[in-house]
Structure 1
Amino acid sequence: MPNKTRKTPFRAPADAAPRLRGAPGRDPGNTPRETEESASAPKPRRKPFVAPSDPSKRGRHKEQPGKPERLHKLLAQSGIGSRREMEELISAGRININGEIARIGQSASPGDRIKVNGKLVHLKFSNRLPRVIIYHKPEGEIVSRDDPEHRPNVFTALPRMSGGRWVAVGRLDFNTSGLLLFTTSGDLANRLMHPRYNLVREYAVRILGALSDEARQRLLDGIELGDGPAQFDTLQEAGGEGANHWYRVSLFEGRNREVRRMFEAVGVVVSRLMRVRYGPFILPPNLKRAQVLELGEGEVKKLLSDFGMDDPAPGRPLHKPRERYAG
């Protein structure tokens, strides 16, 4: 029987038509409609990434012969893990170069055979741009390759690669849908998740019943959760009627099930949750569930520049420690 409950769709900001991959027959579902209040909210200081008009130019990155680079940096930008994690593996003697145990500070060159825990890995040198994709995660997928329950995972829908792997930028829980970022660079993923950049996360939330003025103020002022205080930076009504009401909320951190737990703390049940923005990235309105959009070469270069990754001094922060980067 079809569901007769009226649901008000949410319309993400207009964007250029991207090249899509995935299941074209899957519908994005019902999402909340923006109200006049949300439409009049302050706009992002910088426009979101937009696909180029010529789809043939997307995802094509020029490569030049690589030069020797520090091993821990190469492993990180190849998506194996963060630089700190790679240094720990090197210290533990779990990484080999051409059959010999690697040393801290050692460099690697194109053609070197690198093994991590006995497994041969494919390295990406800095003159080879990383790949970055936006994925519209549907509900019912887990952001993990290893799940004891063997539930469907997001990685099966991503483009296949002959070498390297996709690194998820943050997570969305099993019952949450929306924007999820992936990159082949562990270093870039680490910066996109690092607290010092304070990237804004924006969600469309559907709740059962109405949110009282008192509960609304508590969510904005801050409430105490089991893992510390939490608060929304913004909370706006976004339509809906009857038992279902939609809200747009934003915050500058991404703790486990934080949005759901905050509403539960004020006695409200979340019936649907979708992330519509992560930092400078906005979920494109025509990107359907289980589809991906890959950034072009120019967009990736700009992203690396914005996060200081084209600077010779690695780890230089893009902003002062407490300044928020909202894109």
Structure 2
Amino acid sequence: PRPAGKRKGGKSAARPAKGAGKPAAPAAEKGGARPAAKGDKSAAAEDLFRFVISGQYDADGGAAGPARKAKPVRELSAEDDAPKLHKVLAEGGLGSRREMEELILQGRVSVNGLPAHIGQRILPTDQVRVNGKLIHRRVTTKPPRVLLYHKPAGEIVSQSDPEGRPTVFDSLPRLKTAKWVAVGRLDFNTEGLLIFTTSGDIANRFMHPRYGVEREYAVRTLGELAEADRQRLLHGIQLDDGQANFLRIVDGGGEGVNHWYHVALTEGRNREVRRMFEAVGLTVSRLIRTRYGQFLLPRGLKRGRWQELEPEEVRAMMAAIGLKAPAKQAGAPKGATKVGGRKQREQAAIEGRPMATGMDGLPRFNKEGGRGGANRGQPDPMQTSMGYITAPTLLTSHTGRFAAGVSMPQQPGMRGPAGGG
């Protein structure tokens, strides 16, 4: 594997070419992905905030350490413990559980040649087809995949954009049949930490309001917040879509008309942070998400690049948020047939699969241009002669916009993709 590539005609790559992953990450104590004790996490979050509002953040392209190489990691396969059908399809990366339920209701899914139904449980011997295409399922002990991405300003969190603007998905490693799910969104001009996963369950645990997962932002405003307005923002302020409040507001100082604040909240409504400050007469001139739940924006992760958690780190994270992770496999069962020899396995490991880095803070960088994986022979069941299901037809889509799968649905009344920033 090689370190991050270069943008054509430039000296360094702020963003990778479409489908190419990028490196990442320093030690965990400097803002890596390792969950920490509450006191340590607060100190690390404050240290990260100070770094973000300093000039060094922009000078380093959002990072604070040199890139180092590492090994590639695996492709995702679905769990095989007799789960429900819509979960099998969603965990296989074909879309969200709700989207899979819709496919089942539309009669597009069959099990052993018979129409599938909602709530149906799937055994290892069952043959599942979507739009007539067989879904190859493999027994696996590997957990879902999780990426931490440093979103730059000027990218949208959507599979495609009618205006042709860059999307965050252009920078992620490509999956043959799986689909990256964005854990929440950030609007076009907001930057910072964005989490991606192939698991709808993980995304739901982070995003759903009932779990109260905290988000922290560094907010730069034009003007200083009066104490009376600060109290209003802490106790609750009325917005068009309901009441909202910050959990904490810490004054970060500033120069001239610019002033920084470190804020925390447990929601991710469309442009919520910006609208809250606008409600007290302040314009947000810059917005950077520095923390989401237990994850801090890694100090060594440059803008437009991602780092991946190791399987053990994903298992630990799933346990921490109350999800069951696939059990760790002790070894191959007696009489099991090995698929391929050592050379074949080593070759498969370097054929362009994404790189990993983990909660231990040791960076493992992805290979540029990586794609494909263990399931590369499986046809994409969401691909039809007219394009991807639920995506615009070929007459209205841009070439290559839907290579990653089903497009994410927009919220009613929203003009284009937007985020919680």
Which category describes the TM-score, using the shorter chain as reference length? 0.7 to 0.9
Provide the rounded CA distance (Å) in 1 between the counterparts of 2:312 and 2:275.
Answer: 39
Q: How does 1:1-327 map to 2 (within 5 A)?
A: 25-26=13-14, 43-44=40-41, 56=70, 59-60=73-74, 66=80, 68-97=82-111, 99-109=113-123, 114-116=128-130, 127-310=141-324
Structure 1 residue 86 displacement after superposition:
2.8
Structure 1 residue 97 displacement after superposition:
3.4
Amino acid at match of 1:92: Q
Partner SS for 2:255: coil
Change beyond 3 A, Cα 1:67–1:105: same
Deviates further, 263-272 or 203-212: 203-212
Amino acid at match of 2:14: R
Judge conservation of contact 1:225–1:262 (CA < 8 Å) in 2: yes
Structure 1 residue 109 displacement after superposition:
4.8
C-alpha distance after superposition, 1:284-321 (max 9, x if no partner): 11111001010011110111112222189xxxxxxxxx
State the TM-score, normalized to the length of structure 1.
0.74
Partner SS for 2:147: strand
Partner SS for 1:304: helix
Instruction: Specify the alignment match of 1:5 in structure 2.
Output: none
Structure 1 residue 258 displacement after superposition:
0.1
Partner SS for 1:145: coil
Partner SS for 1:303: helix
Amino acid at match of 1:240: G
Provide the rounded CA distance (Å) in 1 between the counterparts of 2:222 and 2:79.
Answer: 57
Instruction: Specify the alignment match of 1:15 in structure 2.
Output: none
Change beyond 3 A, Cα 1:105–1:145: same
Judge conservation of contact 1:123–1:164 (CA < 8 Å) in 2: no
Amino acid at match of 1:168: A
Provide the rounded CA distance (Å) in 2 between the counterparts of 1:308 and 1:62.
Answer: 21
Provide the rounded CA distance (Å) in 2 between the counterparts of 1:221 and 1:86.
Answer: 40
Provide the rounded CA distance (Å) in 2 between the counterparts of 1:213 and 1:264.
Answer: 15
Partner SS for 1:161: coil
Provide the rounded CA distance (Å) in 1 between the counterparts of 2:279 and 2:210.
Answer: 27
Instruction: Specify the alignment match of 1:324 in structure 2.
Output: none
Structure 1 residue 71 displacement after superposition:
1.1
Provide the rounded CA distance (Å) in 2 between the counterparts of 1:162 and 1:286.
Answer: 28
Provide the rounded CA distance (Å) in 2 between the counterparts of 1:135 and 1:152.
Answer: 15
Change beyond 3 A, Cα 1:275–1:20: farther
Partner SS for 1:168: strand
Structure 1 residue 152 displacement after superposition:
0.8
Partner SS for 1:256: coil
Change beyond 3 A, Cα 1:67–1:227: closer
Judge conservation of contact 1:167–1:185 (CA < 8 Å) in 2: yes
Provide the rounded CA distance (Å) in 2 between the counterparts of 1:65 and 1:137.
Answer: 30
Amino acid at match of 2:158: S
C-alpha distance after superposition, 1:153-212 (max 9, x if no partner): 000100112221111100000110000000111222122212221100000001112211
C-alpha distance after superposition, 1:121-175 (max 9, x if no partner): 6657663311100000001111011322121100010011222111110000011
Partner SS for 2:243: strand
Structure 1 residue 99 displacement after superposition:
4.8
Judge conservation of contact 1:21–1:293 (CA < 8 Å) in 2: no
Structure 1 residue 224 displacement after superposition:
0.1
Partner SS for 2:210: helix
Unaligned residue ranges in structure 1 (runs of 5+): 1-18, 28-40, 49-53, 313-327
Structure 1 residue 96 displacement after superposition:
2.8
- % identical equivalent positions: 55
Deviates further, 163-172 or 209-218: 209-218
Structure 1 residue 229 displacement after superposition:
0.3
RMSD: 3.3
C-alpha distance after superposition, 1:99-138 (max 9, x if no partner): 5421223333557664445666665766331110000000
Partner SS for 2:289: strand
Judge conservation of contact 1:47–1:280 (CA < 8 Å) in 2: no
Partner SS for 1:288: coil
Partner SS for 2:154: coil
Provide the rounded CA distance (Å) in 2 between the counterparts of 1:264 and 1:151.
Answer: 26
Structure 1 residue 82 displacement after superposition:
3.7
Provide the rounded CA distance (Å) in 1 between the counterparts of 2:140 and 2:194.
Answer: 24
Judge conservation of contact 2:79–2:91 (CA < 8 Å) in 1: no
State the TM-score, normalized to the length of structure 2.
0.58
Amino acid at match of 2:93: G
